[in-house]
Amino acid sequence: MMSPTTLIFDLDGTLIDSALVVADILNEMRVERGMSPLDIASYRLWSSLGGTTLVGNALGIDPAQAADRVVEFRRRYHLRPTPAESLFPTTRQTLTALAAKGYTMAICSNKPASLCAKVLRETDLADYFDVVIGGDTLPRSKPDPAPLQHALAELGVPSDAALMIGDSSVDQRTAAAANVRFVFFTPGYDDGVDRKQVFRTIDQLSELETVLV
C-alpha cells in the first residue's frame, strides 16, 4: 500500500466545531416558533446527518417537509460570522506543518459548497486546500463515495495514495466505499464509528504528523 500523499478532510466536526453556530441559529428558529432551545449535544449528534435531517430534527418536523426551513437556516448561516474559536485545537498549526511537508489537501463535506467556502475563508483556512467538495457539488453526497472519488479525480491521485480524516460513521462509510483509508478524529461528532475498522484514531489533529511518519 502506498504511503499517503493526499489528505481529504471532512469539515464540520473535524476542522471546525460548527455546532456552536448551528445551535445558535436553530435555537433562534425554535424560539421564534415558540419552542424552547435545545442543548448543543443534540446538534452535535445530528450534524453528520446532513442539513435536511439536522433542521428537521431541530424543529421537530419531518425532514421530507423541511425544505423551506433548510433554505432559511442556510440563509441565516451565510449571514452569521464564523467565530475564531470554532477551530478545533491545533488545526491551523497542523495544516501549516502538513503543507510545508508537501501534502496535497482537500475538503469533502456535506455542507453546501458555498458555506464551505465561507467558513474556510472566515477562518483563514482556504489556502490550504486545492479542492473543496461540498454536499451539493454532485447529485450525491456522503456516505455515497462519489464526492470523495470526485475529489481524488480532481487531484489526480489514486485512492491508495489518500487518507480520509473525519469524525463520523458517514465519513467512515464514504472512505470504505471509495477504498480510502479512514482516520477517525475523536473530538468531533461521533455517531457510531466502528473503531475496529479504522486505519488510525487520533485525539487531536497534530497527531496526524505521527500517523504519516
3-state secondary structure of 55: helix
CA distance 129 to 107: 7
Q: Which pairs count as long-range contacts for 55-63, CB under 8 Å and 24+ apart, including other chains? A: 55/26, 58/26, 58/29, 58/30, 59/26, 59/29, 59/30, 59/33, 59/35, 60/35
- Note the pTM of the prediction, 2 decimals: 0.95
3-state secondary structure of 170: helix
Q: Tell me: the pLDDT tens digits for 164-202?
A: 999 999 999 999 999 999 999 999 999 999 999 999 999
Of all helices (H) and strands (E), which one includes residue 180?
Answer: none
Q: Tell me: the pLDDT tens digits for 4-33?
A: 999 999 999 999 999 999 999 999 999 999
CA distance 49 to 55: 10
Give the three cell numbers for residue 192: 457510531
CA distance 201 to 186: 7
Q: Which residues are catalytic?
A: 10
CA distance 185 to 78: 26
